[in-house]
Amino acid sequence: MATELYDLTVPVFIRGLRNLSVLLDKGAAFAAEKGLDALALTGAQLIEDMKPLTAQVQFACDTAKGTVTRLGELEPVAMPDTEQSFDELQARIAKTIALLEAVPREKIDGREEASVVLKVPGGEIPFTGRSHVLTFSLPNFYFHLTTTYALLRQAGVPVGKLDFLGGI
């Protein structure tokens, strides 16, 4: 039996976002315990030309919601990128998970060969549903999860690989 496109997206994104939420909880607890400015932690960057932790969370959420709305030909859901605090980032994650949980399986399955166009500054990138998920969405999603993890580790937050992977 083939794996359906829904199974490669919605549950994977939900699991990753829940794991991201745990990482952020640990970041917030670490900042409180050490008396650190939590906004300095959420604004942390790996290098100055890279986006901060807040943007990494926003991009992970955007990748998940954008993937399913493009695949399912659903109405895009705008989320302004205004979050700064851990609580605001958690609210964005929760809103994204709720959106994912509301996507009907039948809107995603069977769209493997459908045309999916990603609009980017400077043009458009054409995909099939399958190639969009496998060559862009999943790698991009995990890039932003991994970068968030790295930013927290770099700051000294006691997170490990199992926090990133979640309950196995």
Could you tell me the domains of the chain?
Answer: 5-165 (1.20.120.450)
Question: pLDDT at position 166, please?
Answer: 87
pLDDT more than 90, % of the chain: 93
Ramachandran sector of residue 29 (left: φ over 0; alpha: ψ -120 to 50; beta: rest): alpha
Q: Which residues contact 26 (CB under 8 A, 6 or more apart)?
A: 152, 157, 158, 159, 163
Q: What is the per-residue pLDDT across 63-98, written as a single tens digit (0 to 9) for each?
A: 999 999 999 999 999 999 999 999 999 999 999 999
| Separation in Å, CA 14 to CA 34, 52, 83, 125 | 30, 22, 20, 25
Let me know how long the chain is: 168
Question: pLDDT at position 3, please?
Answer: 67
Q: What is the per-residue pLDDT across 110-146, written as a single tens digit (0 to 9) for each?
A: 999 999 998 889 999 999 999 999 999 999 999 999 9
Distance CA 57, CA 71 (A): 21
